[in-house]
């Protein structure tokens, strides 16, 4: 028991250190490397491994909780630990009819006669019952209110987002990247435009914004407006078009792309030709596919430095994040 606890504590210490993106992971040619020094792909893999490790640690902690409880009960009852543990996990032997039912459920997978594997199936069925019984006991111990999980939750795995060729607002060299998946007919997206604009104005050297189309409004109008955004971008007028579209959100229609294009001063012949080009639709669809791949199902959805950024108070929360990052870099 003591050895197990020591192993757990060491694992926890290691886990907490690795979850800190500023903690050194390795040294090469005299230079220490932490998570922020690695490529986006390596950061994503690190996040996946950390999540797997977290899940394994939770399973181990369940085992430790059971062991602690059994030892306490054995001490209280003045009985051997092994005897008390076996008593807690005692389940009735499966009946012949239960084993037969189990056999019938998996017969297609084993292709062996019942009599040949009856004993093996009985042991497997009993083992499953023991595990279920143990899980119920652990759940009861947790629900009694005396247990608290202290294992730190790892940050979400870094998402590698394909933003190549997408509209960017702010300085390309800004260290903080905000990727927004948005729909032109989404009221919350319109509110986010103002908030993100204010933050870009306040932190011009610290933040850059990448816009990704995710037109999910069932009317199909936002899809047409998105096509227009691609064509406006081709003429260097995306952000003017983007802002004008949100300003006139309440009156958007299938005719809006042309009206907005004229409003921002693009060459209409090139714009109309672009609107009919298959590559325009393909670019919007690629953005939609990227959103689906990342699990995006609502607008606006923000990723900040590669991680989902849910917020009910975007100005306050994102502002705090930016200030924290600035402090860390100073």
User: Predicted confidence band at 98 (pLDDT cuts at 50, 70, 90)?
Assistant: very high
pTM for this entry: 0.65
Q: What is the mean pLDDT of residues 149-163?
A: 85
pLDDT value at residue 19: 56
Cα gap 41→181, rounded to integer Å = 21
pLDDT value at residue 258: 97
Cα gap 198→330, rounded to integer Å = 23
Is the pLDDT at 328 greater than 90? The verdict is no
pLDDT value at residue 3: 43
User: Predicted confidence band at 111 (pLDDT cuts at 50, 70, 90)?
Assistant: confident
β-partners of residue 32 are: 27
Q: What is the mean pLDDT of residues 115-134?
A: 93
Mean pLDDT, the chain, as a whole number?
Answer: 90
> For 189-231, what is each residue's pLDDT tens digit?
999 999 999 999 999 999 999 999 999 999 999 999 999 999 9
Q: Give the Cβ contact number of residue 79 at 10 Å.
A: 12
pLDDT value at residue 268: 97
pLDDT value at residue 273: 97
pLDDT value at residue 20: 65
Tokens of 315: 């100005």
Q: Residue 292's Cα: distance from chain center in Å?
A: 13
> For 161-181, what is each residue's pLDDT tens digit?
999 999 999 999 999 999 999
Inter-residue contact 226 to 238 (CB < 8 Å): no
Q: What is the mean pLDDT of residues 297-310?
A: 93
> Which CATH number is associated with domain 168-329?
3.40.30.10
Q: What is the mean pLDDT of residues 234-239?
A: 98
Is the pLDDT at 5 greater than 50? The verdict is no
Tokens of 96: 């012949």
Residue 285: which of 277, 327, 113 has the closest Cα?
Answer: 277
Is the pLDDT at 17 greater than 70? The verdict is no
User: Predicted confidence band at 157 (pLDDT cuts at 50, 70, 90)?
Assistant: confident
CA dihedral (299, 303, 307, 309) in degrees, to 10, reads: -60
Q: Phi first, then psi: what are they for 176, rounded to 5°?
A: -105, 125
Domain definitions of the chain by residue range: 2-143, 168-329
> For 179-192, what is each residue's pLDDT tens digit?
999 999 999 999 99
Inter-residue contact 237 to 265 (CB < 8 Å): yes
> For 247-261, what is each residue's pLDDT tens digit?
999 999 999 999 999
Tokens of 271: 């714009």
**Percent over 70 (pLDDT), the chain:** 94
Q: What is the b/e burial string over 271-295, where b = at least 16 CB atoms within 10 angstroms of the residue's CB?
A: beebbeeeebeebbebbbebbeebe
């Amino acid at each position: 028991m003591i050895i197990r606890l020591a192993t757990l504590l060491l694992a926890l210490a290691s886990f907490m250190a690795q979850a800190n993106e500023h903690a050194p992971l390795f040294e090469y040619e005299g230079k220490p490397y932490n998570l922020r020094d690695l490529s986006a792909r390596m950061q994503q893999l690190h996040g996946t491994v950390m999540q797997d490790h977290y899940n394994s640690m939770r399973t181990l902690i369940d085992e430790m909780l059971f062991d602690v409880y059994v030892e306490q009960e054995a001490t209280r009852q003045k009985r051997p630990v092994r005897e008390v543990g076996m008593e807690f996990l005692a389940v009735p032997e499966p009946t012949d009819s239960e084993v037969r039912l189990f056999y019938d459920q998996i017969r297609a997978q084993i292709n062996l006669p019942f009599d040949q594997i009856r004993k093996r199936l009985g042991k497997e069925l009993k083992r499953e019952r023991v595990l279920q019984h143990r899980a119920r006991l652990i759940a009861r111990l947790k629900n009694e209110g005396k247990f608290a999980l202290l294992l730190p939750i790892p940050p979400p795995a870094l998402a590698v987002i394909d933003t190549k060729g997408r509209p960017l607002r702010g300085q390309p060299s800004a260290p903080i990247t905000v990727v927004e998946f948005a729909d032109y007919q989404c009221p919350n997206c319109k509110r986010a435009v103002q908030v993100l604009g204010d933050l870009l104005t306040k932190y011009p050297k610290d933040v850059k914004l990448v816009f990704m189309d995710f037109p999910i409004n069932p009317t199909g109008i936002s899809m047409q407006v998105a096509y227009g955004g691609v064509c406006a971008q081709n003429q260097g007028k995306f952000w003017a078009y983007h802002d004008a579209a949100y300003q006139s959100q309440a009156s958007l229609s299938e005719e809006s792309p042309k009206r907005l294009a004229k409003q921002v001063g693009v060459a209409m012949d090139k714009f109309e030709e672009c609107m009919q080009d298959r590559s325009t639709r393909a670019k919007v669809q690629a953005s939609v596919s990227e959103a689906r791949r990342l699990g995006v199902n609502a607008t606006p959805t923000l990723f900040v430095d590669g991680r989902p950024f849910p917020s009910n108070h975007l100005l306050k929360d994102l502002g705090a994040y930016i200030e924290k990052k600035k402090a860390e870099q100073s």
